[in-house]
Structure 1
Amino acid sequence: MSEHEMINGAPVTEEKIALWAAEAEQGYGVDALKKRGRGRPGRGAEPSQVVALRLTVEEIAAIDERAEREGKSRSEVIREALHRLAA
């Protein structure tokens, strides 16, 4: 194990791996696994679609600057811009 491996900012140690392995060997209850949910939460009643988009470094930087300034995610800024354009 590399000394630089991290999960959520915490180092992954051999001891941690051994604990995870022991937990997995004990098994997991099906009900507990089903409650975890899958993927990102929905944005509405219908499933969302992912759309690939190519942007220049400058375009991404401008979006990221606006997102930081407004306390939003990159996706939120792009969705808002598309909504204004389509209106």
Structure 2
Amino acid sequence: MGGVEKIDGVPVTEAQIAEWVAEAEVGYDVEALKRRERGRPGRGAEPAQVVALRLTAEQLAKLDARAAREHKSRSELIREAIAAFAA
């Protein structure tokens, strides 16, 4: 295994570790951490449900190509297609 530890592809340095240790030793504002919004934003009043979808390699390639052209995510395109179908 070995090698350099990375976070998001960026090597973690000894200096960065020392900064994290110093920050932790000072302590964290727990109330501020609780107030932070985490996770994906909601899609309405009700919780959204995740639905699995199987696509062929060809379908996925076409979806990705269109998503790139329109600067959207796969999910955005699929939601738009379902909304148009259901209208």
What TM-score does the superposition give when structure 1 sets the normalisation length? 0.80
1:36-84 CA-to-partner distances (Å, cap 9, x unmatched) read 2121111212211111122222211111111111111111001111112
In 2, Cα distance between equivalents of 1:52 and 1:84: 20
**Which of the pair has the greater relative contact order for Cα pairs under 8 Å at 6+ separation?**
1
Unaligned 5+ segments in structure 1 are none
- Residue type matched to 1:30 in 2? V
Question: Residue 64 of structure 1 aligns with which residue?
Answer: 64
1:73-84 alignment, distance < 5 Å: 73-84=73-84
Give SS of 2:64's match. helix
Is 1:2 the equivalent of 2:7?
no
In 2, Cα distance between equivalents of 1:27 and 1:2: 31
In 1, Cα distance between equivalents of 2:7 and 2:34: 26
- Aligned positions, number: 86
Unaligned 5+ segments in structure 2 are none
Question: Residue 26 of structure 2 aligns with which residue?
Answer: 26
